[in-house]
Amino acid sequence: MRAFVGQRSVRLAKGLSSPSLQHTSISPRCFRVPGPKLFHSSPVLCQVQPYLLADIGEGITECRIVQWFVKSGDRVSQFDPICEVQSDKASVEITSRYDGVITAIHHQVDEMAIVGKPLLDIDVEDETSPDIPPQGDTAQDTATTGGDAEPESTMVTSTIPEEPAVKLEPKHSGLAAPAVRRIMKEHDIDISKVAGTGKGGRVLKEDMLRHLSQQDSMSPAPVLNDTTANEAHETVRLSPTDSQMFKVMTRALSIPHFGYTHNVDLTSLTRFRRKINARAENLPGHDKTSMTRLSALPFILKALSQTFSKYPKLNAHLDPGSDGDAPQLTIKHSHDFGIAIDTPSGLLVPVVKGIQNHSIISLDAEIKRLSALAKEGKLAPSDMKGATFTVSNIGSIGGAAVSPVIVPPMVAILGVGKAESVPMFIDNEQGESQIARRERAVLSWSADHRVLDGASVARCAESLAKSLESIDELGLSLK
């Protein structure tokens, strides 16, 4: 691009390279010459700003790019969504802090972005009004200064650099659900070749599975020789969730675990839940299709909270100390329990806060809310922090006993096994033993043996069992 400008304008252009402006990047597109006019009286001075990934909380150092809402060349305003990132704990939507134009995007979908490093570059526009007279005033300026006359106009050649090409992802990959993106990565599928049946052509999980089945039916099974079979392997990068689990469990290896396992008779609790659920079904106008049934988990959390009022040391954080500092145990008065939830992206542990203030009904609603957000990948950072104790309900998948691993800085964890119907000996009213069908589950405890002795853990566990086996003694209020 060639632009013919006056003497005063040349001095302005030279001034832009002065030391006071050396740290400001000036975009060539800002100097426009509309028709015969040399410069706009209020030119737009553009400054390219790198947009840095901020710390989204909990000491996160890197995030995975889930999807971009913008591309190079798009104009954005403050608070416009730019992209969605996923840390090892939650997904967060990043919004713009500037008004301007996107000039470069530094990461593709599924790449890892480092906190404090640029996500993209934005051409930020600032309206300025330097004293730039029109061409007609140039001669008067020269006469006033008394300097030697210079040519009326000077040719300045400015080369506009081409913007680097940004490789864009397929059309619907950024909007795909986590399950769809996982299938894409596992099977190396180009999503643009999959016919989407969702809203606006969005590709659903069912579309991906149908596409895979069609590929399997069309492709003959390969014949592998022994060499090919032995060499077949795949190296995958740990997801953010798996990376966080790797770090936490590595730290957990330094904790001396004390294990305690016992059987709990849940027959009374099971009958009570069935009675409550049946009563809800028979309410006038009740929509059975949207019915939410009470599970055993809110009862276990509430009974555990009441038990911790007698054994508060299990609801605590341990600071082991460093550089000669003495270890400290901080007992938490608020019962904020993390609940392990299996999701498409891995195991997540959202936190139910203030359990001592909840009723069974409100606990059940909060558990269902957090579970739904976890499976959709929409948990906020605040939903994931502050746990004082962890409950892993492995029984929802299967299995009886489990050996749960303590997550520091907590000092204990409880694993709940699957409830099963078993024959048990019980005493009747006459004191005679008889066999009856009972509902039984195994509770598995792990405690930090540096601060909790075995006897204290055993007493706490048996106190919880007594509360669960006698529902009347729980003293729970249903709202």
pLDDT along the chain (479 residues), means of 10: 46 45 47 47 65 75 87 90 80 85 92 89 67 44 43 41 46 60 76 74 77 68 55 78 80 89 94 84 53 84 95 96 87 96 88 94 94 91 93 85 92 94 85 89 96 96 94 55
Q: Output the pLDDT for position 219.
A: 56
pLDDT at 278: 84
Identify the CA nearest to 354 among candidates 333, 384, 385: 333
Residue 102 · residue 120 · CB < 8 Å? yes
Tell me what pLDDT residue 474 has. 61
Domains of the chain: 1-43+128-167 (no CATH), 173-219 (4.10.320.10), 249-282+292-474 (3.30.559.10)
Is residue 92 within 8 A of residue 115, CB to CB? The reply is: no
Tell me the β-bridge partners of 105. Answer: 120
Containing 263, the helix (H) or strand (E) segment is strand 257-265
**What is residue 311's predicted lDDT score, i.e. its pLDDT?**
97
Q: Which of 242, 383, 449, 472 is catalytic?
A: 449
Residue 286 annotated to the active site: no
The CA angle 477-299-421, to the nearest 5 degrees, is: 130
Q: pTM higher than 0.75 for the full model?
A: no
Catalytic (active site) residue 287: no
- 55, 137, 319, 453: which is the annotated catalytic residue? 453
Amino acid at 14: K
Q: Specify whether the CB–CB gap between 479 and 359 falls below 8 A.
A: yes
Report d(CA 342, CA 392) in Å as an integer.
10
